[in-house]
Structure 1
């Protein structure tokens, strides 16, 4: 059974001329940009103008650091909200809790680790915190185990010093069962040492801090750790450092020999949710504050990422490898952050637009081809019917003739770019072939009808 031919007189769509294509692309681009900008206007700012930092006790080294950070961050329009605490332990507890306002803080190495707080990351190791053990008595001590049976101050509860001192003493066999362990702040411990109310005390702090400077000039003995190498192996959060001969006083040759000390490392840490742009600002501030040399480290030793208590932030790794992000090197922070923010959000839209730009020519070409394919289908169906009809009637021949002329007329009205003229001529050639077939069928019918009938 012959297939029903497609209807003729198809409505041709307006041609997709280059000018019309450019207009459509311009309109699409403007609409896309308008949508992007609307989304941007509805979004919250990428960074907040305030960082909440948990420091330490007012007047302490951590609190003093925080005040210096605040001054530097203020230049970029960031307010550092400094919150006091009892020390490293409380700072750690605050930052390990997800649902509170604390974002950044100072923690002493050995206070915690990534297993206990996977949501904390290290921004930078910022300084050594020397551990000093001062003691009274005629004997010279160079091992903690020699303090067995003595009255010893460990530091205040909640402080990083308290944790380190207790761990070190326990490892050396000193406990509350065989010694008197008390918890005193630095000033009180110093006074009780002077008055022989205690025999030894742990202190922590820089050599140039007021309390340590006073102790070094007081005549109270300072322990040099003869077993420091073994102790840092047992306690990886500690480092071995040397307080050099004459560092307290060259004139008086104090101390009269190099003193081997242990040191914890102060770390600037944050929650993983801290915005990367703020992390870079904190790293810049750390580089200004902590890169000076001292008795224990050369210039630019700190800040660094040589610490393993918590995971190192991605921003820290990039910062120490290649410095600040490109835009932040040359533009003010707010402008660099604005551009980075917009670029990050616009990037998916740009990718979509790029895909559309690449797709439009293919769509356009398919549209042009479709205009020709419609008439090729008409020709194919007509030709198929001609081949399947053995003896067409006069009416059928007339119908075929009208159809092919209708197709030819419509083909002449197709408006397509010059590059597709070859396809038009190929279509006309196909029309000519079918027209010849119709003429041949008509001629064959004429021969058949005029031939005499057999007698």
Structure 2
């Protein structure tokens, strides 16, 4: 029972010493490396504040009129970014020109804008950027067959010069179509005054057109537009063919000659009954230059899924591209369109992948800066641990020096040495530094033995007389 009790006491003592050592080691490690950690955290916080890696939770996208192709694409972008906890507010507008104005005024962060909508200013080049060309939007000029027969004595239009005297709706000023149509008229030596032009929105204009109050209507829209598909299949309505579309494409850099293939609308009904030559404007996704880079990246990546399918005027993966945009394409758009997805986005949640991507350079610089500084931590830790032992050597040396004085108080010195021994007994250090602790204890014991020897030798020296005392300088005076 006695052996078992002794063993348990030893284990309890060892456990207590281990816990004390652990706590002291943690304290020394914190004190030694704490300043370095504080500096690192402060630099990371400063970099985070400066870079603002997390994007805003809401963003505004300018689209277009209700039920337009722009509105439909806006819904798809809202759904795509919603999966990453980004709320997309859709700003309805009259069209492309209106969208450009919203961007300029800061009322929208991103917008769909057709090429040739308006002349881009130097300020636009500085404040706006493109995320890539998304799709082609043909110039749809629908006319009534009976109007062509009545006004031109033939059922079909073959040139824009034949529009003189026609009632034509060119859409609202905010759509940008009036500006584009006036350029086409000027190229054909026609004045807008030679036509009766109206600027109704699509739905009222279509009602008047089908009722015979308008002879023709012009709008620019993606083929996904329900209005386009309806008019292409309406009896008595024809789509104007532009046989000179190649010449238009050379004359206007923002126009692309395209062909609407025969039967693309309805193969069974053979709609249209022949290939139709058209002009198309390239629509890009523009963003304000101060829009958060992560938002630009998300929109550019979403465009890959939304606009990469084959269409009436393009093959699969022709869009999005970085070749057809009037404005320079942002780096986020270039990477999303022409490069594979970053590895971190394939394996990490968006917020974490974005944080890593935005902060990795800062973390690299911080690591290069902190590594040399971290070399002072081990010596500083070692110094703190050893100082628990070495700080007592100064007191021990002072006691020994006092002990050598002729008039020293040996009783007081003995009490001081015993007090010093008791305090040293309570010192705890890691096992790797235990030799220094035991060396200190040995030195205290050695000084105490030396004091005992001097105390025993003192009576003998006193009995030998003054001469002997004079021969022993370190001995106290009789």
- Give the TM-score normalised by structure 2: 0.65
Q: 1-side partners of 2:354 and 2:284: how far apart?
A: 26
Cα gap change, 1:101/1:358 in structure 2, threshold over 3 Å: closer, same or farther?
farther
Question: Does the alignment pair 1:287 with 2:319?
Answer: no
What pairs with 1:79-118 in structure 2 (closer than 5 Å)?
79-97=87-105, 100-112=106-118, 113=120, 115=122, 117-118=124-125
Cα gap change, 1:337/1:194 in structure 2, threshold over 3 Å: closer, same or farther?
closer
Q: Which residue of structure 1 aligns with residue 248 of structure 2?
A: 231
- Contact kept in structure 1, 2:300 and 2:337, CA below 8 Å: no
Q: 1-side partners of 2:49 and 2:198: how far apart?
A: 58
Cα gap change, 1:209/1:45 in structure 2, threshold over 3 Å: closer, same or farther?
closer
Displacement of 1:129 in angstroms is: 0.9
What pairs with 1:120-131 in structure 2 (closer than 5 Å)?
120-131=128-139
Q: Which residue of structure 1 aligns with residue 140 of structure 2?
A: 132
- Contact kept in structure 1, 2:131 and 2:329, CA below 8 Å: yes
String of CA shifts for 1:340-360, please: whole Å, max 9, x gaps: 344344343223224557999
SS of the counterpart of 1:311?
A: coil
SS of the counterpart of 2:173?
A: coil
What pairs with 1:28-427 in structure 2 (closer than 5 Å)?
29-39=36-46, 46-97=54-105, 100-112=106-118, 113=120, 115=122, 117-118=124-125, 119-136=127-144, 137-138=148-149, 139=154, 140-218=156-234, 219-354=236-371, 356=373
Displacement of 1:225 in angstroms is: 0.2
Displacement of 1:211 in angstroms is: 1.4
Q: Which residue of structure 2 aligns with residue 6 of structure 1?
A: none
Q: 1-side partners of 2:109 and 2:164: how far apart?
A: 42
Displacement of 1:89 in angstroms is: 1.1
Q: 1-side partners of 2:223 and 2:367: how far apart?
A: 56
- Give the TM-score normalised by structure 1: 0.68
Q: 1-side partners of 2:199 and 2:221: how far apart?
A: 17
Cα gap change, 1:60/1:249 in structure 2, threshold over 3 Å: closer, same or farther?
closer
Q: 2-side partners of 1:41 and 1:202: how far apart?
A: 51
Q: How many residues align?
A: 338
- Contact kept in structure 2, 1:154 and 1:161, CA below 8 Å: yes
String of CA shifts for 1:239-272, please: whole Å, max 9, x gaps: 1111111223333333221001111122111011
String of CA shifts for 1:147-167, please: whole Å, max 9, x gaps: 122222111121122222222
SS of the counterpart of 1:117?
A: helix
- Contact kept in structure 2, 1:127 and 1:302, CA below 8 Å: yes
Aligned-CA RMSD value = 2.7
Displacement of 1:45 in angstroms is: 5.5
Cα gap change, 1:41/1:193 in structure 2, threshold over 3 Å: closer, same or farther?
closer
Cα gap change, 1:31/1:172 in structure 2, threshold over 3 Å: closer, same or farther?
same
Give the structure with the higher percent helix: 2
- Contact kept in structure 2, 1:52 and 1:102, CA below 8 Å: yes
- Contact kept in structure 1, 2:53 and 2:354, CA below 8 Å: no
Displacement of 1:130 in angstroms is: 1.5
String of CA shifts for 1:10-64, please: whole Å, max 9, x gaps: xxxxxxxxxxxx9998556434324335546867563211111122223222122
Q: 2-side partners of 1:116 and 1:33: how far apart?
A: 40
Cα gap change, 1:207/1:46 in structure 2, threshold over 3 Å: closer, same or farther?
closer
Q: 1-side partners of 2:80 and 2:98: how far apart?
A: 25
Q: 1-side partners of 2:193 and 2:82: how far apart?
A: 52
- Contact kept in structure 2, 1:114 and 1:309, CA below 8 Å: no
- Contact kept in structure 2, 1:280 and 1:324, CA below 8 Å: no
Displacement of 1:178 in angstroms is: 1.9
Q: 1-side partners of 2:186 and 2:199: how far apart?
A: 15
- Contact kept in structure 1, 2:185 and 2:192, CA below 8 Å: no
- Contact kept in structure 1, 2:68 and 2:226, CA below 8 Å: no
- Bigger shift: 255-264 or 50-59? 50-59
String of CA shifts for 1:353-376, please: whole Å, max 9, x gaps: 24557999xxxxxxxxxxxxxxxx
Q: 2-side partners of 1:68 and 1:213: how far apart?
A: 20
